[in-house]
Chain A
C-alpha cells in the first residue's frame, strides 16, 4: 500500500511539470499581452514595460526563470496584472473561500443526495422513485448560471430574505445561495449514483444472506447495502471535490465571491502568465491528489480491492 502511494506521488511530479510547460506555451500563443488596452501604447512605453518584466529576453531564458523559481522555491512569481502580489499569496487567500464553499456544497449534496438515492432504490418503480428521479434530472439539466439567478430573484429580489451576492465570511447569510446553487447538480448526481449503486447491491447475494439471517431492514440497508452501494459515489467524489475545491467559475462570478475560480478566469483574460500557471499547477496537483485519495478510500471500503 505504502509503495503504491509513493509510486503514485512520484509520477505526480513530472505530470505537474508537463502541465506547467504546456500552460506556459499556450498562454504565450494566445494573442495580446497583459498590458494591451483600448488605446495602443506608444512603442517606447511598450518597450519599457517589456524590459521591466523581462519579456525582452529570449524565450528559453524566460522559461528557465519561471521553471527554476517553481522547482527551487515552489515560487510562482508575482502577478503581472496585480502588481506586487505574489501568486502564492493570491492562491493562499482565495483558496479558503473556494474550498469552503465547495466543501459545504458537497456536504449538503451528500446529506441530501444519498438519502434520496437510497430511498428511490428501496422504492424502485413506485411514484416516489419516479418523482425523485425526475427532480434529480431537473437538477442535473438546470445549469447553475440559470439556477443561481432564479434563486437570487426569488430569495433576494422578491422576498428580500437573503443577500444576492458578495462574500461576508462563512458565518453569514451570504453563503446560503452560492452553496445551494453549487450543490444542486452534485446533489442530483449523487442521488442518481446512489440509486444505481444501491439497486445493484440490493440484488446481490450477500444482501440476500443478510436478510435470510433475519437482520432488520434498517441493519441490512445501513450496514450492508449502503457500504457497497456508495462505491460509485466515492469514485465520483474525487474529481468532483477537486473541482469544487479549486473554485467554480460560474458560481463565484454570479455571487461575486473572492475565490480561486474568479481569479483563474480573470488571469487568463488578463494574460497574467504567472497567475495562470500558478493556478493551473495548483488545480492539477489537487486533482491528482484527490484521485489518489479516492483510490486509497476504495481499498478501505471494498475488501476486494487491493493494490500491489
Chain B
C-alpha cells in the first residue's frame, strides 16, 4: 500500500474513533432528569429483563434469582414476599398459628384458591408440593432449605428408620447419644399446651394420628446405602448391636412433617425451633405445583402446552432466549388486585445491552446490578435510579488449611491492612463491612463489629507470626520473609471482580509490602478450584440472602462445610444451634451475634462490603420497590398513566405508606 493510503487510513481511524467517542459522551451526559425516554407502553404490558434464560419453569429446580422473579408471577405459595421488606405476608394461607417454640406451624388456607386450569387448591396440594420438593428423585439443589422440616433431610438423604419386628417399635435417636433437646413439636401432644390461644382460635389444633406420630421422640435414622451404613455401624459397637436383627425401613415422602389436617389446614412440624421458617416459605422451593400435570407429563410438565400454574399470571408463550410472556390469570384468588395484562420477560445477560434497551424505552425496568460501574456517575443522579440496601455481602475467603494462612495472626494482619472505607468511597455504592452479615438489613439484630483498618497492628501481627515487616528508606514496606510466592488471589473473570482484586492487592502492597499474585478463571473452574481448596491464599466470595434472617449468612459455615475456606468449628455450630433453639427473638439475635463475632474473630473470611441495589425503572412503573432482595410480587405492579403520580426518585420503603396500594 502506498504512503498516502496509509495516511488516509490512519486519518479515517482517528475520525471514526473521535466520532464514536463524542457520540458516547453525548449520549451519556444527556442533561435530562431521567435515563432515556419516558413513554409508557401503549398497552397495559410491563416489559422487564430478569437476567439470563430461565433454567426451568419448575419452581424447585432453578436456584437463581432470575427464575425466582418469574416464579413469583407464575406460582403462589403459603405466603408471599412483602414488596417493601420481603417479610412474609398472607397469600394462599390466609392466616397461621405458630406454636410456642416455633417448631410447628398451622396454616389456614383460603378457600377460593384455584389453579390456572380452574382446579381448586387445598391442603393436599401443599402436602404434595413439599414432599416433591425434598424428594431425592427430584434432586433439587435447594432442598436443603426444607431440611428444618421433620425427617425432610433424612428423606432427601435417603436414610432409613430402624424398626424392631418383635415390638413394631422404632428405635429412637435419644437412646444412642443424640442429646439435642427435643422441640415442642416432638413432645407428646397432650402434655404440652403449646399454642398460645388467640381469640379467633381458642384451640387451633385439630388432632390426628399423624400429629401424634410427629409429636413423638425423634427416631433413629441410618444411612440408606449399605456401604455408608456399615461404616457407621463398625465405628459404633453399641449401635451395631442394637441394630442387629432389626428391620430397616426407608424414609418416604409420607414421613416428613407436613400434614393436611383437613381440606384447608396444613400443619408443618419442624425438627427444631425455626423462628425464621415462616420467612423461608415464600421461597421458590415451596411454591405450589399442580400434582396431576406433574405426574402426567414428568419433566415435560412445564412445556407451554401442558403447564398449569397458580400465580397472579399464567404462561402465554415462551420463546427461549427471546421472551417469556405471562398474562393475567382470571383464576387467581386475588385477580382483582392484578393490574397488568401481561408481563414480558426478556432473557438477557449483557449489562450495556440491557441498559441500551432501557434507554430507548423498549423495557420498563431492569434487574439488580445492571448499571455498569463506569456509568454510575451519570446514571446515579437520574431520578429513575433505584438505590436501596441489599441483603448481600462481599468478602474474601481464605484457605485456612495451608501455611502461612493457617495462622490466625496472619489472616488478621491481611484484614487489618485493608482500608475498607477507602474502598467504599471508590466503589461509591457499597458500605464498608467488618462483620459477616449485611449492615442495616435485619432491624433489631445487634450486629457485631469486626476489626477496623489498622496497618500498624497488621504489621505488628505479621511480625509476631514470624514475618517481620521492615520500613524502607522511601517509606514503603517490605516483608522479605513472607512466602509470597506460595499465595495467590483467585477470582472468576468479571470486570468488577478484577477491580476488587487489584484494589486488595494494592492495599497489601502499600501497607504490608506484600504483593499477592492474581489469577482469574472461568466461572465454573473457579468454583471447582475454590470448593476443592485447590488454591493457596485468597478467593473472591459473595452471598445474598435466601431469606430475611442473619442465619442465612451464618449458615454458610454450618451445613456440610462451607464454600471454600476449610474452616470448620464445632463450637461455632453449637453456638448457632443454641441460638436457633432460643425462643425469645431478642435473645436469639444476641446469641447469633455472638456466633458471628466468633466467626469473624477466627477470620476464615475477610469481610469487604455490603453492596447496594442498583437498577433503574421508568417513573411510570409503580408498586415496584428497591427491596433488599430485588424480588417483586407482581400483582402490585402497575403502569401509571397520570404523569402527576409518577415517581421522581427512589420510592420510599417505609411501611406507613399502604403496602398494597389498593
Binding site for B on A (CB under 8 A): 30-33, 35-45, 48-49, 51-52, 78, 81-85, 90, 93-94, 130-131, 133-135, 137-138, 142, 149-150, 152-154, 156-158, 160, 163-167, 253-259, 262-263, 266, 269-271
Cα distance, A166 to B363, chains bound together (Å)? 11
- Nearest chain-B residue to A254 (Cβ)? B353
Task: Say yes or no: is B12 at the interface (Cβ < 8 Å to chain A).
Answer: yes
- Nearest chain-A residue to B563 (Cβ)? A40
Known contacts A82-B320, A263-B321; decide if A52 and B9 are in contact (CB<8 Å). no
Task: Say yes or no: is B128 at the interface (Cβ < 8 Å to chain A).
Answer: no
- Nearest chain-B residue to A167 (Cβ)? B322
Known contacts A36-B531, A153-B27; decide if A44 and B9 are in contact (CB<8 Å). no
- Could you tell me if A32 and B528 are in contact, using CB atoms closer than 8 angstroms? yes
Task: Say yes or no: is B454 at the interface (Cβ < 8 Å to chain A).
Answer: no
7 closest Cβ pairs, A-B complex: A32-B524, A258-B321, A31-B528, A48-B139, A84-B299, A42-B560, A44-B157
Known contacts A48-B136, A150-B20; decide if A31 and B12 are in contact (CB<8 Å). no
* Min distance, Cβ B285 to any Cβ of chain A, angstroms: 12
User: Given A36-B524, A82-B53, A150-B23, 4 more contacts at CB 8 Å?
Assistant: A44-B158, A44-B560, A158-B26, A163-B362
Which chain B positions have C-beta within 8 A of A41? 141, 144, 560
Residue in A84, A133, A156, A166 whose beta carbon sits within 8 Å of that of B346 in the complex: A166
- Nearest chain-B residue to A259 (Cβ)? B321
* B56-64, B163-171, B178-186, B622-630 - the one binding chain A: B56-64
Cα distance, A152 to B362, chains bound together (Å)? 14
Which chain A positions have C-beta within 8 A of B562? 40
Which chain A positions have C-beta within 8 A of B52? 266
Which chain B positions have C-beta within 8 A of A94? 320-321
Task: Say yes or no: is B642 at the interface (Cβ < 8 Å to chain A).
Answer: no
Residue in A43, A81, A160, A262 whose beta carbon sits within 8 Å of that of B321 in the complex: A262
Cα distance, A271 to B522, chains bound together (Å)? 12
- Could you tell me if B356 and A38 are in contact, using CB atoms closer than 8 angstroms? no
Task: Say yes or no: is B350 at the interface (Cβ < 8 Å to chain A).
Answer: yes
Which chain A positions have C-beta within 8 A of B348? 165-166, 256
Task: Say yes or no: is B382 at the interface (Cβ < 8 Å to chain A).
Answer: no
Known contacts A31-B529, A83-B299, A130-B2; decide if A157 and B359 are in contact (CB<8 Å). yes
- Could you tell me if A158 and B56 are in contact, using CB atoms closer than 8 angstroms? no
- Nearest chain-B residue to A46 (Cβ)? B141
Known contacts A38-B527, A137-B9, A166-B362; decide if A83 and B61 are in contact (CB<8 Å). yes
- Nearest chain-B residue to A163 (Cβ)? B362
- Could you tell me if B525 and A30 are in contact, using CB atoms closer than 8 angstroms? yes
Proximity string of chain B (5-19) to chain A, C-beta cutoff 8 Å, 1 when within and 0 when not = 100110011001000
Residue in B20, B138, B157, B158 whose beta carbon sits within 8 Å of that of A153 in the complex: B20
Cα distance, A284 to B396, chains bound together (Å)? 43
The number of chain B residues with a CB under 8 A from chain A is: 70
Task: Say yes or no: is B660 at the interface (Cβ < 8 Å to chain A).
Answer: no
- Chain B positions 251-308 with a Cβ under 8 Å from a chain A Cβ: 299-300, 302-303
- Could you tell me if B319 and A258 are in contact, using CB atoms closer than 8 angstroms? yes
- Could you tell me if A37 and B56 are in contact, using CB atoms closer than 8 angstroms? no
- Could you tell me if A32 and B527 are in contact, using CB atoms closer than 8 angstroms? yes
Binding site for A on B (CB under 8 A): 1-2, 4-5, 8-9, 12-13, 16, 20, 23-24, 26-27, 37, 52-53, 55-56, 58, 61, 63, 136-141, 143-144, 153, 156-158, 299-300, 302-303, 319-322, 346-348, 350, 352-353, 356-357, 359-360, 362, 522-525, 527-529, 531, 542-543, 556, 559-564
Cα distance, A84 to B9, chains bound together (Å)? 53
- Nearest chain-A residue to B5 (Cβ)? A130
* Min distance, Cβ B296 to any Cβ of chain A, angstroms: 14
Cα distance, A266 to B5, chains bound together (Å)? 42
- Could you tell me if B560 and A152 are in contact, using CB atoms closer than 8 angstroms? no
- Nearest chain-A residue to B541 (Cβ)? A38
- Nearest chain-A residue to B7 (Cβ)? A134
- Could you tell me if A157 and B27 are in contact, using CB atoms closer than 8 angstroms? yes
Cα distance, A204 to B59, chains bound together (Å)? 70
Cα distance, A266 to B52, chains bound together (Å)? 10
Which chain B positions have C-beta within 8 A of A82? 53, 55-56, 320
* Min distance, Cβ B447 to any Cβ of chain A, angstroms: 21
- Could you tell me if A165 and B353 are in contact, using CB atoms closer than 8 angstroms? yes
Known contacts A32-B525, A83-B61, A166-B357; decide if A38 and B144 are in contact (CB<8 Å). no
Which chain B positions have C-beta within 8 A of A43? 560
- Could you tell me if A154 and B23 are in contact, using CB atoms closer than 8 angstroms? yes
Cα distance, A153 to B21, chains bound together (Å)? 10
Known contacts A42-B144, A131-B8; decide if A31 and B350 are in contact (CB<8 Å). no
* Min distance, Cβ A92 to any Cβ of chain B, angstroms: 11
- Nearest chain-A residue to B524 (Cβ)? A32
Cα distance, A128 to B87, chains bound together (Å)? 70
- Could you tell me if B528 and A130 are in contact, using CB atoms closer than 8 angstroms? no
- Could you tell me if B9 and A134 are in contact, using CB atoms closer than 8 angstroms? yes
Known contacts A83-B61, A266-B53; decide if A157 and B360 are in contact (CB<8 Å). yes
Which chain A positions have C-beta within 8 A of B2? 130
Residue in B20, B141, B357 whose beta carbon sits within 8 Å of that of A35 in the complex: B141
Known contacts A39-B563, A84-B303; decide if A138 and B356 are in contact (CB<8 Å). no
Which chain B positions have C-beta within 8 A of A81? 55
- Could you tell me if A158 and B27 are in contact, using CB atoms closer than 8 angstroms? yes
Known contacts A36-B524, A130-B8, A166-B322; decide if A49 and B139 are in contact (CB<8 Å). yes
- Could you tell me if A138 and B360 are in contact, using CB atoms closer than 8 angstroms? no
Which chain B positions have C-beta within 8 A of A42? 144, 559-560
Residue in A40, A158, A263 whose beta carbon sits within 8 Å of that of B564 in the complex: A40
Cα distance, A165 to B140, chains bound together (Å)? 34
Which chain A positions have C-beta within 8 A of B353? 164-165, 254-256
Cα distance, A30 to B522, chains bound together (Å)? 10
- Could you tell me if A256 and B302 are in contact, using CB atoms closer than 8 angstroms? no
Which chain A positions have C-beta within 8 A of B299? 78, 83-84
* Min distance, Cβ A94 to any Cβ of chain B, angstroms: 7
Sample of 12 A–B contacts (CB below 8 Å):
A30-B525, A39-B563, A42-B144, A48-B137, A83-B302, A84-B299, A84-B303, A130-B4, A133-B5, A157-B356, A160-B37, A167-B322
Cα distance, A48 to B153, chains bound together (Å)? 12
- Could you tell me if B524 and A269 are in contact, using CB atoms closer than 8 angstroms? yes
Known contacts A37-B527, A40-B561, A158-B27; decide if A256 and B543 are in contact (CB<8 Å). no
Which chain B positions have C-beta within 8 A of A164? 353, 356-357, 359-360, 362
Residue in A36, A40, A150, A165 whose beta carbon sits within 8 Å of that of B356 in the complex: A165
Cα distance, A258 to B556, chains bound together (Å)? 36
